[in-house]
A and B are shown apart, each in its own frame.
Chain A
Amino acid sequence: MKVTVPRLVDDPALSISIAPATKKRSRQWLRVLSPVALLLLWQIGCSSGWISSRTLAAPSQVIASFIELTANGSLQHNLLVSLGRVVKGMSLALLVGGSLALLAGLSRTGEYVIDAPMQMLRTLPVLALIPFFIIWFGIGEVPKVALVAVAALFPIYLTLYSGIRGVDPKLVELARIIGLSRGALVRHVILPGALPTALVGVRYSLGISWLILVAAEQVNATSGIGYLMNDARDFMRIDILVVGLLIYALLGLIVDILVRWLERRLLGWRPSFVGTAA
Chain B
Amino acid sequence: MNDQTVNVCGLTRRFGNTLALDHVDLAIESGEFVALLGRSGSGKSTLLRTLAGLDAPTAGSVQVPNERMVVFQEPRLLPWKTAAQNVALGLKGSDAKEQARAALVEVGLEHRLDAYPGTLSGGEAQRTALARALVRDPKLLLLDEPFAALDALTRMRMHVLIESLWKRHRLSVLLITHDVDEAILLADRALVIDRGRLVASIAIDLPRPRDLSQPGFFALRKQLLTAIGVTDVELREPAAKEPQAASDGTVAADSIVMA
Q: Tell me the B residues contacting A by CB distance below 8 Å.
A: 52-54, 69-70, 72, 74, 76, 78-81, 89-90, 116-119, 132, 136, 249-253, 255-259
Contacts and interface: CB of A to CB of B under 8 A. Distances in A.
20 contacts: A106-B256, A107-B259, A169-B251, A169-B253, A169-B255, A170-B72, A170-B74, A170-B249, A173-B54, A174-B76, A177-B54, A178-B69, A184-B90, A188-B78, A188-B89, A192-B78, A269-B116, A269-B117, A270-B79, A271-B118
B253 A274 contact: no
Contacts of A175: 90
Nearest to A174: B76
Contacts of A274: 116, 118-119
A110 B79 CA distance: 28
B90 A171 contact: no
Given A106-B259, A269-B81, A269-B117, 18 more contacts: A106-B257, A107-B257, A108-B257, A111-B257, A165-B256, A167-B256, A170-B251, A174-B76, A175-B90, A176-B54, A177-B52, A177-B53, A184-B89, A188-B78, A190-B256, A193-B80, A271-B119, A274-B119
A240 interface: no
Contacts of A107: 257-259
Given A189-B78, A269-B80, A177 B259 contact: no
Interface size bucket, A side? 35 or more
B78 A178 contact: no
Given A177-B52, A178-B89, A178-B132, A270 B118 contact: yes
A274 B54 CA distance: 34
Interface of A: 105-111, 164-167, 169-180, 182, 184-185, 188-190, 192-193, 195, 267, 269-271, 274
Nearest to B118: A271
Residue among B69, B74, B132, B259 with most chain A CB within 10 A:
B259
B245 to A, nearest CB: 15
A41 to B, nearest CB: 48
Contacts of B79: 269-270
Contacts of A178: 69, 89-90, 132, 136
